[in-house]
Chain A
Amino acid sequence: MPASTTTEQTWTQDQPIVSIKDVRKSFGTFEVLKGVSMDIMKGEVICIIGPSGSGKSTLIRCINALNDIQAGSITIEGQEVHDADLDKLALRKKVGMVFQQYNLFPHKTALENVMMAPLKVLKQPKEEVEKRARTLIKKVRLEGKENSYPGELSGGQQQRVAIARSLAMDPDVMLFDEVTAALDPETVKEVLLTIKELAADGMTCILVTHEMAFAREVADQIYFTDKGVIVEHGAPDVFFENASDPRTKEFLGQIL
């Protein structure tokens, strides 16, 4: 896609920051995504909900090229993600990702986890990185835990370190892949609060979640996926009160 550099230059903030068009993705013969499209504007918070196996996680993993796609296109700030010539680093700088299992580096302290990517990948000066990392740790309310190893932190604390670690790369879009699914109920709140504050700061967030009350509170748009397609989407109030598709109704009936 030779036009990618020019389109990036022409991208403006009134265009979607993330644009997904007819994305198809298969694992072997099993098609997980069967033509998914969505546009996300800068500063929007999107929640993707749906039964397990419906392709939610696969979709957000495709957004930062952890999975490849077979057809369609995904652009971030006008730049095609699945372009073979793409500078992966440029993409990773724009997109931060937080995982269900935190995936912190167990041999590094909380502070070192946050510092590692800016130091090693962006090669930024240490003092500056450390200053920013300490601010981020404070932001996710983990002041005093800078020198703790992941193994010494609770699940919720680890997840907040993971969020700070992603933020250290100063991304424009944050992806959250079922980030509270592995947590016990008390710690879920702390993590959700962190995400809420992030959203309030204007960060573009795409979340795969099972926390319906949270989705309803923070999301600008809710997307419901089932069997690899987007069944319907809408603003939370409309979506939760007046879901039109019978599959959505059935799903909401089961969990609400």
Chain B
Amino acid sequence: MIDIIQSFFRDLAETYPKWNFIFFYEPAQWERVVSGLYVTIKLSVVCVILSVIIGIAGAWAQGSPSRIIRWVVQSYIQFFRNTPPLIQLLFFYFALGQFTPTVTGPDGWTEQPIISNVGWAIISLSFFAGAFNVEIFRSGIEAVPNSTLEAAESLGFTRAQTYTNVTFPLALRVSLPALNNNLINLVKTTTQAIAIAVPELLYEMVSIWNDYSSAQNAAMTVLFFTYIALVGILAFGMHKWEKRLLVPGFGKAS
């Protein structure tokens, strides 16, 4: 089976030199694609989880009685929402990266920063998407009727019990469609990590077509379809979740 595929793409590249899917018949190039895809998936999963945590925590902090905490959250949102994510990434890596301590690498003589380029990409992308998530969850929280919370209060629920049992489950249902959009954007934005040489899928693909210029069209085609598939899986999962949380008479009519 693999032989058939490999010889098909080798023939294709010979017949149409501009369509050289080299990674489909040369194992060394295939491995680069696979390792890039693995980094992209890892980056996406970690950033999605962290950004959702930041969103929930931020939305909770926005309801804080302390003006200082609310101001900090607001400044964070304004900064990350109103500046380009690529500049944020470069700033984190090149500016803040200078000030982080270094450790001696496993080889015993190189000095390596404790936060790697992958680490900075995760931090930067999570905070970027997290800023939007705070606003998304906040709008969900504000959509929960005050009277419902009052009912919880009259039943003896504390503020925290009301938040976990009533406010959050209802806010989540309102927030999911917007959250879905933002997380899809986040997965696509992970490609920007190429700017600080994170070896994710785009980075590996560009490397391949730098080595084999005939592979450029092929690599771009594969990139498009891979992201359609990745985002498709995420959107499908989110949609399933949305459906599972759907309750009659709340939000979308069943």
Residues on A lying within 8 angstroms of B by beta carbon are: 64, 66, 88-89, 92-93, 95-97, 99, 101, 103-107, 116-117, 120-122, 149-152, 162, 165-166, 169
Contact = CB atoms under 8 A, between A and B. Distances in A.
9 contacts: A66-B153, A95-B154, A105-B148, A121-B155, A121-B157, A150-B249, A151-B249, A152-B249, A169-B155
Interface of B: 145, 147-148, 150-157, 161, 165-166, 169-170, 173, 245, 247-250, 254
Contacts of A121: 155-157, 161
Contact of B151 (A89, A104, A122, A152): A104
A223 B161 CA distance: 36
Given A92-B156, A121-B161, A166-B155, A107 B169 contact: yes
A193 B208 CA distance: 78
A203 B250 CA distance: 33
Interface of A is mostly: mixed
A117 B157 contact: yes
Contacts of A104: 148, 151
Given A106-B170, A107-B173, A97 B154 contact: yes
A150 B251 CA distance: 13
Contacts of A93: 156
Given A64-B154, A166-B155, A106 B161 contact: no
Contact of A149 (B147, B161, B247): B247
Given A88-B156, A166-B155, A169-B155, 9 more contacts: A103-B145, A103-B150, A105-B148, A106-B247, A106-B249, A117-B156, A121-B155, A122-B156, A152-B249
Contacts of B166: 105
B165 A101 contact: no
Top 9 closest pairs, chain A to chain B, by CB: A151-B249, A92-B156, A103-B151, A151-B248, A117-B155, A106-B250, A121-B156, A97-B154, A149-B248
